[in-house]
Amino acid sequence: MTATDEFEFDTEFIEPEPPEPSVITADVEGNQPDATIIDPKKRSRTAEAYEKKMRGLFRTGFHLTVSHPATRPDAAAIVMHAPEISKKIGDLADADPRIKKGIDFLTEGTENPYLAVIAASVPFALQLLRNHEPQLVPAQRGIKIPFTKRHIAFKFGIKLGRLRAATVPSEDLTSFVFGNAGVRDAMKKAGFSFEN
């Protein structure tokens, strides 16, 4: 896409209200268009319902990614591509009961509690890994075999790689949290002494 291309964005992920459909009317004397040629295939209620569920999943992804500069391009990709993907997955769910079951699992009720816990826990786990990154660098490690003088050696460690962008440096996190006046007051009331 170039800067001169025009693209109409479906902003439902930002503003959940669906946009009003535009109606094109043409009044040409004597000629009436044959609607059977351009008439879109009628979609079932099931396809539309599962499209809506998929849009909800993408909306959650949008809200999770739009706030962090490192993941903001992902939010832009969601706005760009999610409406068409949601529509096609809705049609697929209408044709395949396994897809319906999968979407139902992901969107159970208004929000799947298991996925909510995972979504809340992953950033915490990644930040903990980042905080202890020096100790987790892949290195040669070993285990002593009990009752022998032998060791089993293996290389073990964790690298965050691209996931590192979803975290912040430990020092920045510490100064942000403990530099907050409300946090410092609460710690003082609880009996914690905290010095810079």
- Please check whether residue 53 lies inside any domain of the structure: yes
Predicted TM-score of the model (pTM) = 0.51
Q: Determine contact, residues 59/79, Cβ cutoff 8 Å.
A: no
- Please check whether residue 165 lies inside any domain of the structure: no
Q: Determine contact, residues 54/89, Cβ cutoff 8 Å.
A: yes
Counted domains in the chain: 1
SS3 state of residue 4: coil
For residues 42 and 35, what is the distance between their CA atoms, to the nearest angstrom?
A: 13
pLDDT tens-place values along the chain, 196 residues long = 555 556 666 666 565 555 455 544 555 555 665 556 666 678 899 999 999 999 988 888 887 777 777 778 888 888 889 999 999 999 999 999 999 988 888 877 555 677 777 777 888 888 888 888 877 777 777 788 888 888 888 777 787 777 777 788 888 888 888 888 888 888 888 887 766 5
Provide the domain limits for residue 52: 1-111
Q: Determine contact, residues 106/38, Cβ cutoff 8 Å.
A: no
Q: b vs e for 36-51, b when ≥16 Cβ sit within 10 Å of the residue's Cβ?
A: eeeeeeeeeeebeebb
Q: Determine contact, residues 57/48, Cβ cutoff 8 Å.
A: no
- Please check whether residue 48 lies inside any domain of the structure: yes
For residues 8 and 5, what is the distance between their CA atoms, to the nearest angstrom?
A: 10
The label of the residue with tokens 């992901």 reads 106
- Please check whether residue 195 lies inside any domain of the structure: no
**8, two tokens:** 């109409």
Instruction: Indicate the residue type of 20.
Output: E
- Please check whether residue 41 lies inside any domain of the structure: yes
